[in-house]
Amino acid sequence: MLNIYIYILIASCFMCFIRAWLGKTIPDRMVAIDILGTLAVGFAAVWALITKQDIYMDIALAWIFLSFLGTLALAKYLSHQSLDE
Amino acid sequence: MSIILLSLFLWVFWILAAGNSDLLTLIVGGVAAIFIGILWGKRLYVNSHKAFDIRRWFWALIFLFIFIWEIIKANFDVAYRVLHPKRPLSPGILYVKSQLKSTWGRVFLANAITLTPGTLTIDIQEDLLYIHCIRIKPNELSVLRNKIVARFDRYLIKIFD
Amino acid sequence: MAWNEWVGLAFIGVGVLFDALGCLGLLRFPDIYNRLQAGTKCVTFGTCGILLGILFHQGITTFGIKALLGIPFLLLTSPVGAHALARGAYKAGIPLWDKSVMDEYTQSESSRAE
């Protein structure tokens, strides 16, 4: 059961990669990367359940904040502002 | 006061995330929480009179249930649009006016709007919110404006203002 | 298996399904703002579903509580990220889809890049 979930999540990640590859504009690629970050949280959580090791859960928690910070930095870069505001 | 609140919140978060309650864990977490609380407590615009008002927490609970219901509706809406072969979209950006005064209230309103059916907050200026809407019927604009804000505004006013 | 494990697996399944739908929307929708809509809503809800499912599956243990802690932070951070990206894209001059109905943001002062 859980293995099927993992395969679906991997397929979703590939869809994000395709969007990041096709892109067209730079913000399109950034959106794909942002959503990939949120997907990775779910992936780490399911993986923690499969391997029964709750250290992956810590990774998921940390990843929420890190992907948030990364997205904010990318968005700042997009709007041509300096990073100290 | 907000220093104490922030430190307490961080400490509880630390204990829950650490998952054990050794003396060493508690002390290290406490010291770190107080340090960060002193650094950042002044910058959080928390009014401690409001934070201890039971009625506000009661309204927050009601808001939470409505919020969850709206999120579920939003997702079936988006799923329908994704799976529909013709992609029924007529997007656009419009502005709505909010009655909220407090900063925290506006943050929560913007987040709630982003997670509800077919709307995404793009910018906030004072009381104007610019919203990207996935499906607009140009002859029903004022109804739509009302619908977006009124859903959450009356609860958030009771919670934050 | 106990009932709570079945409920947990069902929640995780719904979450994974919505994750996949969100990514499909990311591929199918025409412009960046619509893609953000599909992506943010569906993927946030899906990941919250997964975390909630883990809470049901594991019960109140360290594992479950960590999953529960993730939910409010995900609900707070994910819309803010989407909002920042949309604003940045608008300021960088990415146009709306050509079938868009209206745009009232152009009148605003802050819509231009600094």
User: Going residue by residue through chain C (114 aa), what tens digit of pLDDT does each one get?
Assistant: 678 888 888 888 988 988 888 888 888 887 888 888 888 888 888 898 898 888 888 878 878 888 888 888 888 888 888 888 888 888 777 777 766 666 666 666 555 554
* Domain contains B19: yes
Is the per-residue pLDDT at B46 higher than 70?
no
The 10 Å Cβ neighbour count of residue A79 is 18
CA distance C34 to chain A (A): 11
Cβ-based contacts of B83 with chain C (< 8 Å):
21, 24
Q: Are residues B25 and B67 in the same domain?
A: no
Cβ contact C69–B91 (<8 Å): no
Q: Are residues B29 and B93 in the same domain?
A: no
Is residue A71 within 8 A of residue C85, CB to CB? The reply is yes
DSSP state letter for C92: T
Q: Are residues B100 and B24 in the same domain?
A: no
Q: Are residues B36 and B70 in the same domain?
A: no
Domain that holds residue B6: 2-44
Cβ contact A42–C114 (<8 Å): no
Q: Are residues B28 and B63 in the same domain?
A: no
Whole-number pLDDT of residue B47: 67
The 10 Å Cβ neighbour count of residue C113 is 13
Three-state DSSP state, B99: coil
Q: Are residues B78 and B11 in the same domain?
A: no
Cβ contact C19–A54 (<8 Å): no
Q: Are residues B100 and B119 in the same domain?
A: yes
CA distance A71 to chain B (A): 15
Q: Are residues B87 and B137 in the same domain?
A: yes
A64 part of contact set with chain C, CB < 8 Å: yes
Residue in chain C lying closest to A35 (CA): C39
A51 part of contact set with chain C, CB < 8 Å: no
What mean pLDDT is predicted for residues A56-85? Answer: 79
Residues with Cβ within 8 Å of residue C109, at least 6 apart in sequence: none
C26 part of contact set with chain A, CB < 8 Å: yes
Q: Radius of gyration of chain C from Cα atoms?
A: 18
CA–CA dist C99, C79 (Å, integer): 25
Residue B87 vs residue B12, higher pLDDT = B12
Q: Are residues B33 and B83 in the same domain?
A: no
Cβ-based contacts of C12 with chain A (< 8 Å):
2, 5, 46, 49
Q: H helices within chain C, ranges in order?
A: 3-28, 32-58, 62-91
Strand order through the sheet with B92-97: B92-97, B128-133, B119-125
pLDDT tens for A11-70 read 888 888 888 888 777 888 888 888 888 888 888 888 888 888 878 888 888 888 898 888
Tokens of A68: 């948030």
Number of domains in chain B: 2
Tokens of B148: 């977006």
* Domain contains B49: no
C25 part of contact set with chain B, CB < 8 Å: yes
Cβ-based contacts of A5 with chain C (< 8 Å):
12-13, 16
Is the per-residue pLDDT at B133 higher than 50?
yes
Q: Please, which chains are in contact with B (at least 3 CB pairs closer than 8 A)? A: A, C
pLDDT tens for B81-129 read 878 777 777 777 777 777 777 777 788 888 888 887 778 888 887 777 7
Q: Strand pairing of B119-125 and B92-97?
A: unpaired
Cβ-based contacts of C13 with chain A (< 8 Å):
5
What mean pLDDT is predicted for residues B15-37? Answer: 83
Q: Are residues B63 and B38 in the same domain?
A: no
Whole-number pLDDT of residue C106: 66
C51 part of contact set with chain B, CB < 8 Å: no
The domain spans of chain C are 3-94
Percent of chain B with pLDDT over 70: 93
Q: Are residues B61 and B14 in the same domain?
A: no
Q: Chain C interface, mutation test: which of A2, A8, A21, A49, most C Cβ atoms within 10 Å?
A: A49
Q: Are residues B103 and B72 in the same domain?
A: yes
CA distance C2 to chain B (A): 24
Residue in chain C lying closest to B96 (CA): C104
Cβ-based contacts of B69 with chain C (< 8 Å):
none
pLDDT tens for B51-78 read 677 778 888 888 888 888 888 888 888 8
